[in-house]
Each structure stands twice: as structure tokens, then as C-alpha cells.
Homo-oligomer: A and B are copies of this chain.
Amino acid sequence: MSARVTMADVAEAAGVSRALVSLAYRDAFGVNGDTRRRILDVGDELGYVHNRIAASLASSGATSIGVYLQDLHNDFFADVHDGIRDAVETEARDLVLAVGALGGERDAGSLRALQGARVGVIIGAGILMPDAEVQAFSSRTPIVSIAREVPGVDSVSSDNLAGGRLATSHLIELGHRRIAMLANPPSDGYLGRRAGYEEQMASAGLASRTVEVSYSRADAATAAIALLDGDDAPSAFFAHNDQTALGVLEVLLARGITPGREVSVIGYDNSSVSGAPGTSLSSVDLHGAQLGAAAGRAALRRLADPAAPPELEVTSPELVLRMTTGPAPV
């Protein structure tokens, strides 16, 4: 608990100027590699820690990167985080994290907190505010939106249409003809998944059967029961996300139906639960780490040129096949 060590102390102990110490800690130009090492060593010995607070206040342009993640319980956001960190760490930028909430009730507060931390740009994954609010916010602190396209705002998203096509056409190729889709509420976006499904069904001459469900597993289970008990029960389900697919699996297992044999199921997100033994859910992978990395690079570009026109980058999803998909029963 000695008095706080400052740059001045390090400078004195190392026998150099304050300014040089400052440069050394930012590994800027104009400081010889040897002296740099020596300065850092002296700093370590004294227990000095570069004060990013003071540094940030003093430097005019904000250089740190804010990261907003909707929900830590969802593995997708963990992937996104990893991707961002990978893409950004070569630049030695500070990442400032803020976590939201599933319902979006923390969006505004968390984004404000990042703004209060004076980040230069915010990478947002799972922001639920309306487009208009995102745009308004972005005009003060630029946002890079992940997995959601916001007009006028840098966006990095996965091709949902392609994902919907991938899943559906695979089920069709397996011989399924009665394929139901459990879709999310249209107001939340991700419409491409549904569009891809309906397009593929139509072009195969099959009738679409789309049921809208919420994000809860229980809700999905209810919908699955209704479909299975109805006329012309489907032999395959395409779910808008893994959570929904788990609801379907729950129903199948409870009825003694083996997923992948009698009935096939494909989810979306390829979250960590998908790979669990026993569950082994086929799913569409968004490649969250890839999205995060792309967003990280976009953030660096935005920091470098605040006036550049907004960018839109679209990455391709991938179908990951496990045990819940199999040939249609005869």
C-alpha cells in the first residue's frame, strides 16, 4: 500500500525523462529498444502499472474499443468475444466490456456505460434497440453491429438466407417432404432463415409449414406437440435456433421417438449444447468467432477513419451435421 507509483517515479529511478517513460509504455517511436526494456524493468520493480485512466483522459482521441454482449449464458457471444480479441490484440487496444440482458432492458444503460468509459467505437452483439435508436446512438459513438444489419451503421452479419437454404435443402435431400419450420417473431429480424426455408420448399414443390414461436424451450415444445399430433405430422423440423430445437428434442425423447431416425431436427447457432453427447444436435453454425474478428477489424478501420462510409460485411454459415438428422422414414 505504498503511495501510488507514477511515471515520474519511474523516470527518476531509471534516470530518464518523464516523456521517455510515457513513450516507452506506449512503445511508440523515438525510444531505443534497450532503454525501453530498462524503463519497463524499472517500472516493474517499482510496481508501477500504466494508468489507462489518466492516459485516456490525456489523449485527445479515444482509442479503446467497447464491446457489448447481450448475454453471457449464450455461447455465441463467447465466440464473438474471442474473435474480437483475436483481431484486436495485435493493436494492443483496450477492450471495455459491457453485458446486457436477454430482454434488451439493459441495452441503453450498457451502451451509455461504454460511452462514459470514452471508448472510440462500440462493437455490439445482440443489441435489441430499434434501428432508429441504434443509428442515433451511432452518430455519437460509432457502432459496429454484429449479426444484425442496421442501415447506415457498420454491420457484420451472417447470411441467414444461405443458412435457411442449407438446412432446408439438406432435409429435402434426405428425402423429407413434410418439413416444418419453427420461426422466431418477425419483428426480431433474422428473416432470411425463414425466407431460405420457404424458398427451398417452394422450389422443391413442397408446402411450407411455418409456425412462429418465442425463444423459450417450453414454447417450442408446445408447438412441436401440436404439429406432431396434427394431420400430416412432419418428419423433420427446422428450428430458428438451438434453444427452440432443444424444445423439439425434448418432446421427441419424451415420446420415445429417436431423433435422426423417425424424425429429423436441425437447429441454428451450433451452440455448445449442440455437441453434448446424447443431444448431438445438427445445427447451422454462424461462426461467431469469425463474425467477431470481422467486427474487430471493422472497428479498427472506423477508429482510423471516422468519416468513412458505413460498411456491410456478410459471412457464410455452415451446416454441422450430427445425430439428429437422417434419411426420411419410408
Please list the residues of chain A having a beta carbon within 8 angstroms of any beta carbon in chain B.
Answer: 1, 47, 49-54, 56-57, 71-73, 75, 77-79, 81-82, 85, 94, 96-99, 112-113, 115-118, 139-140, 246, 249-250, 253, 259, 272-273, 276-280, 306
Which listed residue, B53, B78, B118, B280, touches A73 by the CB 8 Å rule? B78
Taking A94-B113, A246-B277 as known contacts, 18 extra A-B pairs with beta carbons closer than 8 A to each other, sorted by chain A number, are A1-B140, A1-B306, A47-B140, A49-B116, A51-B118, A52-B117, A53-B56, A72-B78, A72-B81, A81-B99, A97-B98, A246-B276, A250-B277, A253-B277, A253-B278, A273-B276, A278-B279, A278-B280
Chain B min CB distance to A50 (Å): 5
For A249, list chain B residues within 8 Å (CB).
Answer: 277-278
Contact A116 B50 (CB under 8 A): yes
| A87 smallest CB distance to B (angstroms) | 15
Say how far A75's CB is from chain B's closest CB, in angstroms. Answer: 6
CA separation between A50 and B75, bound complex, in Å?
32
| Residues of the B chain whose Cβ atoms lie less than 8 Å from the Cβ of A47 | 140
Which of chain B's residues have a CB closer than 8 A to the CB of A276?
246, 273, 276, 278-279
By a CB distance below 8 angstroms, the chain B residues around A53 are: 53, 56-57, 116-118
Residues of B within 8 A of A56 (CB): 53
| Docked CA distance A56–B85 (Å) | 25
Q: A116: shortest Cβ distance to chain B, in Å?
A: 4
- Taking the nearest CB of chain B, how far is it from the CB of A241, in angstroms? 14
| Shortest distance from the beta carbon of A297 to any chain B beta carbon, whole Å | 19
Given contacts A73-B75, A276-B246, contact A97 B94 (CB under 8 A): no
Q: A276 to B72, alpha carbons, bound, how many Å?
A: 18
Min distance, Cβ A245 to any Cβ of chain B, angstroms: 10
Q: What are the 5 tightest A-B residue pairs by CB atom distance, in nearest-first order?
A: A72-B78, A278-B278, A97-B97, A250-B277, A278-B279
A47–B112 CA distance with the chains assembled, in angstroms: 11
Chain B residues in 8 Å Cβ range of A79: 73
Please measure, in the bound complex, the distance between the C-alpha atom of A58 and the C-alpha atom of B51, giving whole angstroms: 13
Whose C-beta in chain B lies nearest to the C-beta of A52? B116
Determine the chain B residues whose CB is within 8 A of the CB of A116 once the complex forms.
Answer: 49-53
Q: Which residue of B lies closest to A49 (CB)?
A: B115
